[in-house]
Amino acid sequence: MAEEDQNTQGQTPELTDEQRRQMETQWVNNSLQKANSYLASKGIMPQGVRQQDSRILPPLVSIWRIKGKENNVISDYWVIAGDVPTDHVPVKVAMHARDALRHFYLTWQVQAENIARGPGRGDPMQMNFAKLLVNRSEGLFNLYQDDRLWGEKSA
């Protein structure tokens, strides 16, 4: 018995394929819910997802193309969610999910720099947010550069 405890202590049990699929499905559903809730908090009511244009890379990030209604006007938006700050831009900013990813990482780099040089530089919470933006934007850059994820050559 003690030998059995020693073998399993500190080890994570292997997941079955079914458990992995369930975890991935839950992650995708949570990510979409987070994206929809985020848009709603910005006054944009989600009207549907263009799944074929979206890119989902669990458990890191998802880039959703979501149709939303704001002030009785329906438009498409790119919404990024996952292990990153949730953010959005109009779809006219980027034609494809990969281009939207590039837009987010560049924008976050600029935002982090503005925080570091602006009045927020004395606020530890603002500086921690700036560090998070830099860290996540570097991760997005690496994903953007990885042609295997996109089925095309990098721009």
**SS3 for 49?**
strand
What are the residues facing 49 on neighbouring strands? 66
CA distance 131 to 106: 14
Residue 79 lies in a domain: yes
CA distance 111 to 89: 15
Q: State residue 122's pLDDT score.
A: 86
Residue 154 lies in a domain: no
CA angle 96, 99, 102 (to 5 degrees): 155
- In DSSP notation, 35-104 reads HHHHHHHTT-EEEEE-GGG-EEETTTEEEEEEEEEETTEEEEEEEEEESS--EEEEGGG-SSHHHHHHHH
Per-residue pLDDT of the chain (155 residues; tens, 9 = 90+): 444 444 456 677 898 999 999 999 999 999 999 999 999 999 999 999 999 999 999 999 999 999 999 999 999 999 999 999 999 999 999 999 999 999 999 999 999 999 999 987 889 999 999 999 999 999 999 999 999 999 865 55
pTM value is: 0.86
Q: Could you give the number of structural domains in the chain? A: 1
Residue 74 lies in a domain: yes
Q: State residue 13's pLDDT score.
A: 81
- HSE, CB side, 13 Å, CA atoms: give it for residue 9: 6
Determine if residue 131 is left, alpha or beta; phi over 0 gives left, psi from -120 to 50 gives alpha, anything else beta: alpha
CA distance 98 to 154: 9
Q: Which domain holds residue 61?
A: 2-149
Residue 155 lies in a domain: no
- DSSP annotation of 100 reads H
